[in-house]
């Protein structure tokens, strides 16, 4: 009998094409990073998360190194499957390996704090999404935390956008992300809005074409302030959510 070869997961097929970061998005990238940083501060304080070491899964070229140092982490560890970015990451992290999540147990087998920023959006297939989370769950200490960002489909649908679903969709409803976490033996203990997409609201969508608006920091500051007001109260105004999880006992 001929054994059919399983299709490679999206993140393997697209290796090297998804290593860009907020640092390459100009003022809009600075806006996203500011809101994400504040969400992390909120989570670290609320859950008293250990800051001795952090393992960044999908660390790219180490773009979050400065953020992690700002947040108080003492030792930065990372993995990324793209060899083109690993060498640069080594210059700003304390230790980096060229590896996928399924290799994590070989290089960093037990950890108190693990992160995956902007990574889940690149894992399109449901089964690989669950496997990705499971590989990380197995490398968490009993009281450790895994924090990862997900796109909030509810936000876009409520803003008048079409629902994105199907085997090629990387934007899922939060209920689906919770289901994936549960199947990966993770308990979601916190959901924190990270950044607001200023022009995803249908009434404001015209602003995406306004170069003057996009070039002024004051245009973004109002959304930064709004995110501070709403963070911890609701995830519905946010286009991205930071999941704070722990391994189920």
Residue 210 lies in a domain: yes
**Residue pointed to by tokens 């689906």:** 176
User: Is pLDDT at 20 greater than 60 in this prediction?
Assistant: no
Enter the DSSP assignment of 50. -
Distance CA 11, CA 34 (A): 27
| Range 16-36 average pLDDT | 76
User: Is pLDDT at 22 greater than 80 in this prediction?
Assistant: no
Strands 53-57 and 111-116: parallel
| Range 19-46 average pLDDT | 84
Residue 158 lies in a domain: yes
Residue 149 lies in a domain: yes
Closest-CA residue to 120 (of 155, 141, 150):
150
**pLDDT bracket for residue 159 (50, 70, 90):** low
Residue 8 lies in a domain: no
Confidence (pLDDT) at 18: 58
Mind listing the pLDDT tens digit for each residue in 94-129? 999 999 999 999 999 999 999 999 899 888 888 999
Confidence (pLDDT) at 2: 35
Mind listing the pLDDT tens digit for each residue in 182-233? 999 999 999 999 888 877 677 777 877 888 888 899 988 988 898 888 888 8
Confidence (pLDDT) at 132: 95
User: Is pLDDT at 30 greater than 80 in this prediction?
Assistant: yes
* Averaged pLDDT score across all residues of the chain: 87
Residue 92 lies in a domain: yes
- Cβ distance 149 to 120 under 8 Å? yes
Element (H, E) at 143: strand 140-151
**pLDDT bracket for residue 27 (50, 70, 90):** confident
Residue 1 lies in a domain: no
Residue 161 lies in a domain: yes
Q: For position 196, which CATH number holds?
A: 3.40.50.150
Confidence (pLDDT) at 3: 37
**pTM beyond 0.85:** yes
- Cβ distance 56 to 76 under 8 Å? yes
Confidence (pLDDT) at 5: 37
Residue 9 lies in a domain: no
Domain range for residue 79? 22-247
**pLDDT bracket for residue 134 (50, 70, 90):** very high
Of 33-37, 78-82, 121-125, 214-218, the range with the lowest mean pLDDT is 121-125
**pLDDT bracket for residue 167 (50, 70, 90):** low
Number of structural domains, the chain? 1
């Amino acid at each position: 009998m001929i054994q059919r070869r399983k299709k490679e997961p999206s993140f393997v097929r697209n290796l090297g094409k998804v290593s860009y970061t907020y640092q390459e998005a100009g003022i809009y990238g600075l806006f996203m990073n500011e809101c994400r940083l504040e969400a992390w501060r909120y989570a670290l304080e609320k859950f008293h998360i250990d800051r001795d070491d952090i393992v960044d899964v999908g660390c790219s070229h180490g773009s979050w190194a400065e953020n992690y140092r700002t947040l108080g982490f003492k030792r930065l560890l990372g993995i990324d499957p793209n060899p083109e970015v690993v060498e640069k990451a080594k210059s700003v992290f304390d230790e980096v390996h060229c590896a996928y999540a399924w290799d994590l147990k070989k290089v960093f087998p037990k950890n108190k704090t693990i992160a995956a920023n902007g990574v889940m959006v690149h894992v399109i297939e449901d089964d690989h999404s669950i496997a990705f989370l499971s590989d990380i769950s197995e490398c968490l200490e009993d009281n450790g935390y895994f924090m990862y960002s997900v796109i909030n489909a509810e936000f876009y649908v409520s803003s008048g956008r079409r629902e994105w679903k199907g085997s090629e969709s990387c934007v899922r409803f939060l209920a689906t992300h919770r289901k994936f976490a549960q199947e990966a033996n993770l308990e979601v203990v916190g959901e924190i809005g990270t950044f607001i997409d200023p022009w995803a609201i249908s009434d404001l969508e015209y602003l995406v074409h306004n170069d003057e608006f996009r070039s002024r920091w004051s245009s973004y500051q109002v959304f930064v302030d709004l995110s501070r007001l709403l963070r911890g109260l609701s995830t519905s105004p946010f286009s991205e959510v930071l999941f704070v999880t722990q391994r189920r006992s």
